[in-house]
Chain A
Amino acid sequence: MIRLEGISRTFDVGGRPVRALQDVTETIAAGEHVAVMGPSGSGKSTLLNILGCLDRPSAGSYTLDGREVAQQGDGELTLVRRNLIGFVFQFFHLVPRLTAQENVELPMVFAGVPPRERRDRAAAALASVGLEDRATHRPDQLSGGERQRVALARATVMGPRVLLADEPTGNLDSASGRQVLDVLERLNASGLTLVVVTHDFKVARRSGRVVMLLDGRIAKRVAASHVQEIADVLAGEAR
C-alpha cells in the first residue's frame, strides 16, 4: 500500500537547513496497523504529513497504492487527499461554526457528492462512531472524545484506503482515548491501513508493529508486543 524509499525532508529555517527526515525507507502493507513513536522533534509529524500528501519530500520516492505521488502536481495531490487518505489530528480541527453533521459532510461537499446522499452518508458515519444523537451539536457543545470521533467520522466518510492519525489520543483522558482507539481498531479490522503517531505505549501496544524515529531516521522496528524495547531506548534518550 505504502512504499517510502530514501525519503528526506529538509526545512529551511532562517537560511539554515533543518533535516526533519533523513533517508527514510519503509513499506507498509495494505491493512497494516503501524504505530510511529519517537521523541519530540524526531520527525513523526513530518513523516505523517508526507504520507498524507500534505507535504512533499525534498528527496526520495513515495508510492501510494501503486502510484508515485512524491512529485505530483497540486491537482493530483488534492484528489489523492480527497479519495485515498483520511487524516485525524491531535487538536481535532473541526470547523467551529459547523455542526457535527456538517463537519462530516465537508469532504463530500468538496468532492461534489449530491446533498441527499451526503446527508445519509454523514449520518451513517456519525452512527458508526456512536454519535448519531450529536449530529446537530457544534464542536463547542461536544467533549474532547466526541470531537475526535466526529473527526474520525469525517476522515473516513469518503471511504479512504489509508487513515493517518497524529497523536489522536494526545489530548484526551484515558476513557475517551480508549473509545477513539476502539473506533480506530474497528476501522483497521475492516481493512483500512492505519498509521498512528503516538507517545502512549498503551496505544502503541494495540498496533501491529512499531516504528521508532530518532533525529529524522528510523532507529528501530519492533512488533507491538516488544514495545518495551522502544520504551527503554526512549528512556535512555531522555537521560
Chain B
Amino acid sequence: MSGRDLLAFALRALTGHRLRSALSLLGVAIGVAAVVLLTALGEGARRYVTQQFESLGSNVLIVMPGRVETTGGVPGFGGVPNDLTLADLEAIRRGVPSVSRIAPLAVGTETIAFGDRRRQVPVAGTTRDMLDIRHLTVARGDYLPRETGREPAVVVLGQTVANELFPGLDPVGQVVRIGAWRMRVIGVNASRGVQMGTNFDEFVIVPVATAMRMFDRSSLFRVLIEVRSHGELDQAKAAVEALLTARHRELDVTCLTQDAVLTGLNSILGALTLALGGIAAVSLAVAGVGIMNVMLISVSERTREVGLLKALGAGRRQVLSVFLAEAVMLSGAGGVVGLAVGFVAVQVLIGFYPGLPARPPLWAVVAASVLSLLVGAGFGVLPARRAMRLEPVAALSRR
C-alpha cells in the first residue's frame, strides 16, 4: 500500500465524518495557534526591550554607586558605599584614555512653575556630554554647558513640560521657578517618547551641581561613559573599576555595560517565551486526547470494515497504518489551521500595538508543527493498535 493510497483512504474516512473530524481538529488548531500567539508575544517583548537598549548606544558604560550583581540585579549587602562624585568623574575623564565622553546624572523630583502654572516633574542634573551619549537632540534653543565648574542658572525642558507650561509660547529665554530656584529656560528637548519605561519628555534638565544642591545629594545617581569603540568597552570597564577602587580604597561601585544588562534581560525574557510556549503546548496534549477519543469511536464503528479489510488481504501493519494516518492527518490539518489562525492573530495584535515587534520565533513554529503531527501519531497509536488486533471473523460477524 503506497503512501499516497494510504493518505487517500484516510482522507476519505475523515471527510465521511466532517463535523466530528473538524471538531477534533479544532483542538489541535487552538493549541498550535496558542503556541504561535503566546511565543510571538514573548518574543515581541524581548525584541522591544532589546531595541530600547540598543537605542542607548552599544559602547556606553554605566557606573552606579554600590555593588550590584550585574546579571541578577539583586543589590549585594556591602558596607555603605562611598559617594560617587563629580571629582570621581573628572578623575575618570583624565585617567582612562579610551573614554571619549562622560556625563554625570543626578535625579530628583521638584515643582516647576511659570506664572500660575505649576507642575511636579522629575529633574535630571547633567552636562552637555549627555546630549551626545544618549543621542538626544534639541528642538529649540541650546543644551546645558559642558563645564561643571561655575554653573549658570539654566534649564532645558522636555517637550511635554514645555507644552504645558508655555502653551503657544516660546519658552526659550523665559524664567521659571524650580522649587526655590529661579532658572532661565535655554532650550527644549526634541521629543523622545517613552524609553525604558520612562517618559523623557516629562523631564527637565538642569546643570548637575545645581541638581545635587537642589536635592541635597552628595553622590551622583549614575555616571554615563562613552568609550571610543565597542571593542574597548571591557578594558575601559576594568580601568574605571581600578581607578575608582584606588580612589575609594574598595570596589564600591557597579560598572554595567549594555551587553551585560541585555544578556540578563534577554535570558529572562527568552525563558518567559519558552514558558508561554510550554503552557500553550499543554493544550496540544489535551487536543491529543480528543483525537484519541474520536479515533476510538471510529474504530469501534468500523469494526466490520476492519474485518473486511483483513478478509481482502490487508495485513496487520496496513490496518495499523490506515488508522494512524487518519489520526496524523487530523492533527496535521489542525496544525496547519492553527498556524494560519496564529499568524493572523499576531497580525491583529500588531494592529492594536504597532510598537510591539511581535513575531513568533522560528523554533516555536517548527516545534508547534512537529508537535501537532506527533500528537496525532502518539495519541493515534492506541486506537490504531486496537483496530489492528481485531480478529477478522469477530469483526465481520457483527451486522
Contact = CB atoms under 8 A, between A and B. Distances in A.
Interface of A: 45, 49, 52, 54-55, 74-75, 78-79, 81-83, 87, 89, 91, 93, 95, 97-98, 106-107, 109-112, 115, 154, 158
B391 A82 contact: no
Nearest to B322: A110
Contact of B315 (A45, A55, A75, A89): A75
Interface residues of B, number: 26
13 contacts: A49-B392, A54-B396, A78-B310, A78-B313, A81-B311, A81-B312, A93-B304, A95-B305, A97-B16, A109-B5, A109-B9, A110-B314, A154-B312
Contacts of A89: 396
A74 to B, nearest CB: 6
B337 interface: no
B1 A109 contact: yes
Q: Which of A93, A109, A115 is most buried by chain B, counting CB atoms within 10 A of its CB?
A: A109
Contacts of A52: 311
B6 to A, nearest CB: 9
Contacts of B1: 109-110, 112
B313 A110 contact: yes
A98 B393 contact: no
Nearest to B9: A109
Given A89-B396, A93-B308, A158 B13 contact: no
* Residue of A45, A110, A112 ringed by the most chain B CB atoms within 10 A: A110
Interface in B340-399: 391-393, 396-397, 399
A216 to B, nearest CB: 16
A184 B187 CA distance: 106
B312 A78 contact: no
Interface in B47-104: none
Contact of A107 (B5, B307, B313, B396): B313
B310 A54 contact: yes
Contacts of B312: 81-82, 87, 106-107, 110, 154
A82 B13 contact: no
A98 B309 CA distance: 13
A97 B313 contact: no
Q: Which 9 A-B pairs have the closest CB atoms?
A: A82-B313, A78-B315, A54-B392, A55-B393, A107-B312, A110-B314, A97-B16, A93-B308, A49-B393
Contacts of A45: 397
Given A55-B393, A82-B312, A109-B9, 17 more contacts: A54-B307, A55-B391, A74-B316, A78-B314, A93-B304, A93-B308, A93-B311, A95-B305, A97-B16, A98-B12, A106-B309, A109-B5, A110-B312, A110-B315, A110-B318, A111-B313, A115-B5
For the complex, would chain A's binding face be called helix, strand, loop or mixed by DSSP majority?
helix
Residue among B307, B309, B313, B315 with the most chain A CB within 10 A?
B313
A127 B310 CA distance: 25
A100 to B, nearest CB: 14
Nearest to A102: B12
B2 interface: yes
Contacts of B316: 74-75, 78
B317 to A, nearest CB: 9
A91 B399 contact: yes
Interface in B284-322: 304-305, 307-316, 318
B326 to A, nearest CB: 13
Contacts of A111: 313
Contacts of A91: 399
Contacts of B9: 109
Interface string B1-21: 110010001001100100000
A78 B316 CA distance: 8
A109 B9 CA distance: 10
A79 B317 CA distance: 13
A120 B213 CA distance: 100
B16 to A, nearest CB: 5
A69 B359 CA distance: 62
A127 B12 CA distance: 25
